[in-house]
Amino acid sequence: MVELPAGPSFLEYLVRERPDLLPAGSVPAAPEGISGGVPHATTIVSLAFEGGVVVAGDRRATIGNVIASRHIEKVFPTDRYSVVGIAGSAGIAMDIARLFQVELEHYEKIEGTLLSLDGKANRLASMVRGNLGMAMQGMAAVPVFAGYDELRGVGRLFSFDVTGGRYEELEHHSIGSGSVFARGALKKLWKPGLSREDGVKVAVEAIFDAADDDSATGGPDPLRQLWPVVYSVDAGGTSRVPDDTLAEISATIIRQRSIAGREA
C-alpha cells in the first residue's frame, strides 16, 4: 500500500520518499560537455497590464546552432490564476513545470484552497534550487512565474536565478537567449495602464524583435502557421490567446514594418 503524503506539499513528499523522481534526481551526473547536446528553450517575455499579466514564449528549441524543434511550448498554466514560462535545458525545465502543476493541485486538494501567489513563487524557487547541481554542469532551467494576486487584486511577475533566488518584477521581464533584445523592445513599448489586448500585442512584438536578432529565438512563422504561445491572467482566471488572434497581430506587425521600409 502506497503511503500518502503527510502534508500539503507533494514536493516534500517526493524529496522524502522518491528523490529519484525529481527532475534533477532522474538525470545521472552529466559527463563534461553533454550540455552542448541538450535542447534549450528560449525566449520568454512577461509584462503587467491593467488588472493582470501576460506571459509569452517563442516556439523554437535549439541544440547549439541547430534548430531542434519549431513546435515546443514553453508557457504553461499552473492553476486557475498563474502561469509559468521556462527557459534553459528543455527536458529539465518541462519536468519542473509539470511538477509545479502537480504541487499546486495537490496543495489545493489537501487544504481545500489555493496557495497564495507568494507561496506559489516560494515553492517554485525551491524546485529551481533543487536543480542547482545540474545547473552547475551546464543544464540550468530558469522560469518566469506570473499570476493574479486575489488578495491584492493585481497581476504580479516573479523571476528566479539558478540558486532559487526569487525576485519580483514590477513592470516586465524577459529570460532566455533573446531576452536582451526582447527587454529592449519591452522598455520602449510598455507603458502603465495597458489593456489586455495591448499587452498581448506588446508581448508578441517583443518576441518578434528577439527573433530578429537572436538565431535561437523563433518569431511568428506565417509559412508554417506557428505563433508564440501567449497566456494572460487576470481576475477572470488564466486564458490562452487564440492562434487566430496572434496571426492577426503578427500580420499587422509585419505589414507595419514592411511599409516603413527600414532594414534595421
Residues with catalytic annotation?
Answer: 42
Cα 188 → chain centroid: 22
Contacts (Cβ under 8 Å, ≥6 apart) of 100: 78, 84, 123, 124, 127
The Cα 68–Cα 62 span in angstroms is: 5
The Cα 61–Cα 87 span in angstroms is: 10
Contacts (Cβ under 8 Å, ≥6 apart) of 94: 86
Residue 14, CA distances (Å) to 11, 29, 143, 144 in order:
5, 20, 21, 23
